[in-house]
Amino acid sequence: MTIEWATENTAGIRKAITRVQQIARSYDMSLDTITEQTIDLVLSPDRPEPAHTRRA
């Protein structure tokens, strides 16, 4: 998710999130807090820009 976010690939972000959630469901497990926070970050409409796009 972080890699897709850094490359600004919205479709890739959603695909990665869907896959992580499918795997968690298939093993009947919860996502850890950091994964949930990352999902919230990359899906947030007011998320920060990836580091490589910031201007100094």
Give the model's pLDDT for residue 51.
64
pLDDT tens, position by position, 12-27: 999 999 999 999 999 9
Give the model's pLDDT for residue 6.
84
pLDDT tens, position by position, 1-56: 888 888 889 899 999 999 999 999 999 999 999 999 989 988 888 776 766 655 54
Give the model's pLDDT for residue 35.
92
CA atoms within 13 A on the CB side of 47: 18
Identify whether the C-beta of residue 53 lies closer than 8 Å to the C-beta of residue 8: yes
Identify whether the C-beta of residue 18 lies closer than 8 Å to the C-beta of residue 44: no
pTM above 0.85, yes or no: no
> Residue 53 carries which DSSP code?
G
- Distance CA(14)–CA(5), nearest Å, equals 10
Tokens of 10: 């919205």
